[in-house]
Amino acid sequence: METPSVRGYPVLIIGAGRGGAALLEMFLEDSLVKVIAIADKDPEAPGIKLAKDHRIPTFSDPAKALRACRKHPDCIVYNLSHDDTIVEEARKVFGDKRVSSGPEVMLFWQMVTNLKKIKGELEKSHYQLQSIILNVMDGIIMINETGEIQGFNPAAEEIFGYSQPEALGKNLKMLMPEPNRGRHDGYLRRYLETGHSKILGVRGREVVAARKSGEEFPLEMSVSEMVLGGHRYFIGITRDITDRKRAEKKIAHLAHYDYLTDLPNRALFVDMLNHSIALAKRNKRKAAVLFLDLDGFKKINDALGHDAGDLLLKDVASRFKTTIRASDSVARVGGDEFVFVLDNIESEESAALVAKKILIALAEPFDMKGQHCSVGGSIGIAMYPEGSRDPEKLIQQADEAMYLAKQSGKNTWKFYREVLQNRLEQ
């Protein structure tokens, strides 16, 4: 007689109490096992109810269950009924077939239960890890030894503009601009051959990356290496730092430029003056510092208010920038005080000519929201190398000369040497 085909190894369970129900429940989840019947004298036993729910044959007489399974000679019998006669009945049906019962079944059940628990914990850890990878705000990219992308999380999709299907299997260099794109394969090959890398293990390395659109942007990344299944992989944690770089640039700008006029502030002007002095020394030329204080600004500020005063200062700064040469510089160092540095000039006459141009530019009335206003300026001039070789000292000398210009009737200029002459005459 042909043995019927059963999907999974045939199993008969004798005893459908809590243990038998647990064993059945466990086998129902395993494709390697096929429970072909379950028997118990109690028709309300939990295992009987569970078997009926899954359309598994049930018996109230264990002997009848054994005979019904005769057509499966390789059937494994699990006896959880505490009835020792089951072993003899099974021998009558299956010959010397050994029945698993008592402690054997309990030990087997505990082993499988522990394995299921471990499997559940592993699955839970896997789901937690997957959840972190899918929801983390940093891009996570995994590549193999040939540079092919093996992992590309949603944050990486958002950063680079590629979908996961577009990225998987492609070379990582697609995310790089030139010249790094052309050099990437060589970098990777050299590391695999020598073990030397400038990137692995470095936290927060800043690089330039490329989006799908071709836009280049600053990226912070940390790369680590791992071996999985005998294969080597590289994991990159990436972060788009465009906003951070923009903020850093803005902060740096605010640290060196006047917030109102966007002219250099005093600190930056001193650096620029240092450069001008070094340039004049190298070229054996002169440099000049002009210190200007507006005449009549306080009256306008008091009469029209601070908003009008701020607007006037912006317009003044704009005129100054278009009046001087591209090689010269102007900065705002106080409320209505401005300083200029003139590079590579030939003489005092050249500095005086620039001072005159500045005052002419100021003489044109300013339109303050429909109201015309006029201001003038008093300018003090200090020359390098005649005055001083120290930047701060030159600014101080030009400031003193500016006060002499104010005392001389305003809207004019004076040199620091004239300040010294006045002191001698007094």
Answer yes or no: do 414 and 268 share one domain: yes
If you average pLDDT over residues 60-79, what whole number do you get?
A: 87
Which of 243, 274, 300 is at the close of a domain? Answer: 243
- For residue 384, name the pLDDT band (cuts at 50, 70, 90): very high
Query: Buried (b) or exposed (e) across 80-93, using 16+ Cβ within 10 A?
Result: bbeeeebeebbeeb
Q: What are the pLDDT digits (tens) for 201-229?
A: 677 889 999 999 999 999 999 988 888 88
Answer yes or no: do 288 and 377 share one domain: yes
Q: Domain of 193: which CATH number?
A: 3.30.450.20
Residue 194 within a domain: yes
Please give the structure tokens belonging to residue 362.
């100021």
Residue 117 within a domain: no
Answer yes or no: do 16 and 103 share one domain: yes
Answer yes or no: do 205 and 69 share one domain: no
Residue 4 within a domain: no
Residue 121 within a domain: no
Answer yes or no: do 70 and 152 share one domain: no
Count Cβ atoms below 10 Å from residue 352 Cβ, excluding itself: 17
- For residue 109, name the pLDDT band (cuts at 50, 70, 90): low
* pLDDT computed for residue 21 by the predictor: 87
Q: What are the pLDDT digits (tens) for 110-125?
A: 766 676 677 777 777 7
* pLDDT computed for residue 96 by the predictor: 64
Answer yes or no: do 233 and 335 share one domain: no
- For residue 98, name the pLDDT band (cuts at 50, 70, 90): low
Nearest to 292 by CA among 261, 328, 320, 264: 320
If you average pLDDT over residues 130-156, what whole number do you get?
A: 85
Domain residues for the domain of 87 are: 9-110
Answer yes or no: do 265 and 353 share one domain: yes
* pLDDT computed for residue 4 by the predictor: 52
Residue 348 within a domain: yes
- Residues 6 or more apart whose Cβ sits within 8 Å of residue 256: 264, 265, 267, 268
Higher pLDDT, 164 or 92: 164
Maximal C-alpha separation, the chain: 140
Q: Domain of 370: which CATH number?
A: 3.30.70.270
Backbone angles phi, psi at 86, to 5 degrees: -60, -35
Question: Do residues 185 and 174 lie in contact, with contact meaning Cβ atoms separated by under 8 Å?
Answer: no
Answer yes or no: do 275 and 141 share one domain: no
* pLDDT computed for residue 133 by the predictor: 65
Question: Do residues 383 and 351 lie in contact, with contact meaning Cβ atoms separated by under 8 Å?
Answer: yes
* pLDDT computed for residue 194 by the predictor: 80
CA atoms within 13 A on the CB side of 53: 11
Q: Domain of 78: which CATH number?
A: 3.40.50.720
Residue 283 within a domain: yes
Which of 216, 243, 270 is at the close of a domain? Answer: 243
**Domains in the chain: how many in total?**
3
Residue 130 within a domain: no
Residue 129 within a domain: no
- Residues 6 or more apart whose Cβ sits within 8 Å of residue 296: 374, 375, 376
Answer yes or no: do 15 and 44 share one domain: yes
Residue percentage of the chain with pLDDT more than 70: 92
For residue 385, cis peptide bond before it (omega within 30 degrees of 0): yes
Answer yes or no: do 69 and 36 share one domain: yes
- For residue 358, name the pLDDT band (cuts at 50, 70, 90): very high
- Residues 6 or more apart whose Cβ sits within 8 Å of residue 133: 140, 151, 153
Answer yes or no: do 144 and 100 share one domain: no
Q: Is the dihedral of CA 194, 200, 205, 210 positive or negative?
A: positive
- For residue 1, name the pLDDT band (cuts at 50, 70, 90): very low
Q: Is residue 5 pLDDT above 60, yes or no?
A: no
Answer yes or no: do 239 and 261 share one domain: no
